[in-house]
Amino acid sequence: MAKRNVMVTEEMAITAAAAGKVANSSSSHFSFPPPRGNSGSVNFSNFKKLLTQLEINGSSGRIHGWVDSMKASSPTHIKSGSLLASPVAASHDEEYENWMKQHPSALKIFDEITAASNGKQIVMFLDYDGTLSPIVDDPDLAFMSENMRSAVREVARRFPTAIVSGRCRDKVYSFVQLAELYYAGSHGMDIKGPAKQPKHTKAKAKAVLFQPASEFLPTIDSVYKALVTKTESTHGAKVENNKFCVSVHFRCVDEKKWGALAEQVRSVLKDYPELRLTQGRKVLEIRPPIKWDKGKALEFLLESLGFADCNDVLPIYIGDDRTDEDAFKVLRDRGQGIGILVSKLPKETSASFSLGEPAEVMNFLRRLVDWKRLSHKERGHHPHERLGRLGIK
């Protein structure tokens, strides 16, 4: 039987932070670009070691262990006894403040970000759920506000912009409804460029349609149907067909039933040993066995836009979930670009900066648009002295 590893969950990361695992930061100063690696940041290595040994296809005891961890760290349980009583209380918490020193608000260091883009083309990558829209109980109702849509439209007018989501591409498009964007659905396994090439796209940019997991479509469709049938007895369980991957949502299921639901998923996957299982925010995701993720999608899109091996590009990636970490890691490893995690709680992340919630993402996008407008008016003026201070050539 093939073993499947389960990724560290957001909830578990919260537990680790609540348990006081956030290392003290000795200084409020941060360097830009930020140092690579997580030294001095959050120490989750023990949690990771434990969790990466968790096998969803193993014994039912392991399944229950996973469910217990998720329950223990869910907001209702956290309220009763841990250090992080709520996102609001967390803002007063020493660990949270330390974490914020390590991952400053992108709004607070906005001027430094724009200074770093001097002479470079900003390319914007945006996750959807929890980044542009609030997380809601029913994933079919995760609408973005008209104000947010307008902010994204304005950004896309000025910079190549892509939405990178775990959802089916058509579904994300139905929420965002902006034809001028690139869309990477199914965690980047379904990428399509805008119908019309925006004027800021490089001449060597290619028309994009990329579906590296096409051969698995029948398998994914089959496992989707099997999961729907198997889980229909669990009230609140929702199976979402994301075309190249499948999500089983736990959000509306009574916590007491989480173990049973995870068991149902496990029993279906026994017949699909080639598929991979990963975990996100109260969701289990079933994926094809290809090495493709949001980080690979980011690299693919940069190349498609004509920015392969270029120094004159500044990718900015904003996302809130574990799957976005693959993109943050790519930026960190390239030593290029800016990763921004959307979170009100301390979490292990490879992102350098943070924003608290979608409303702050919207503010950030608007400021970027305003800055670009202004810099057009004052063409030629760049704050060189600031760049020197930040050690950026």
**Residues making contact with Mg ion (CB under 5 A):** 127, 129-130, 320-321
Minimum distance, C-beta of residue 34 to Mg ion, in the bound complex (Å): 22
CB-nearest residue to Mg ion: 130
Q: Shortest distance, CB of residue 324 to Mg ion, whole angstroms?
A: 7
How far is the C-alpha of 101 from the C-alpha of 155, rounded, in Å? 28
Cβ distance to Mg ion smaller for residue 145 or 375? 145
What's the CA gap between 124 and 361, in Å, rounded? 12
CB of 128 to Mg ion, least distance (A): 6
What DSSP string runs through 334-387?
Answer: HT-SEEEEE-SS----S-SEEESSHHHHHHHHHHHHHHHHHHHHTTT---HHHH
Specify which residues 163 forms β-bridges with. Answer: 126, 183
**CA nearest 99: which of 286, 353, 367?**
353
Residues 6+ apart with CB under 8 A from 268: 223, 226, 227, 230
> Would you say 112 or 348 has its CB closer to Mg ion?
348
- 230 vs 322, beta carbon nearer Mg ion: 322
Strand order, beta sheet including 283-287: 238-241, 246-249, 283-287, 276-280
Cβ 259 to Mg ion, closest distance in Å? 25
CB of 321 to Mg ion, least distance (A): 4
The beta strand positions in 72-221, using DSSP E, are 121-126, 161-164, 182-185, 190-192, 209-210
DSSP state of 291: S
Nearest distance in Å: CB 174, Mg ion: 17
Q: Closer to Mg ion at the Cβ: 41 or 323?
A: 323
127 is catalytic: yes
| Helix or strand holding residue 98 (H, E) | helix 94-102
Identify the H or E element spanning 220: helix 217-231
Q: How far is the CB of 325 from Mg ion (least distance, A)?
A: 11
Residue 92: partners with Cβ closer than 8 Å, 6 or more residues away: none
Residue 131 Cβ, how far from Mg ion at the closest point, in Å?
5
Beta carbon nearer to Mg ion, 127 or 299: 127
Dihedral sign for Cα atoms in the order 238, 286, 13, 332: negative
Identify which of residues 272 and 317 has a Cβ nearer to Mg ion in the complex.
Answer: 317
> Which of 68, 111, 127, 190 is the catalytic position?
127
Residue closer to Mg ion, measured from CB, 115 or 351: 351
Whether the Cβ atoms of residue 8 and residue 348 lie closer than 8 Å to each other:
yes
CB-based contacts of 303: which residues, under 8 Å, 6+ apart? none
Distance separating alpha carbons of residues 203 and 157, to the nearest angstrom: 17
Nearer to Mg ion, 64 or 149 (CB): 149
Which residues contact residue 377 at a Cβ distance below 8 angstroms, ignoring those fewer than 6 apart? Answer: none
* Full DSSP string of 21-78: -BPPPS-S---SSPPSS-TTSB--HHHHHHHHT-BTTS-HHHHHHHHHHHHHTSHHHH
Active site residue ranges: 127
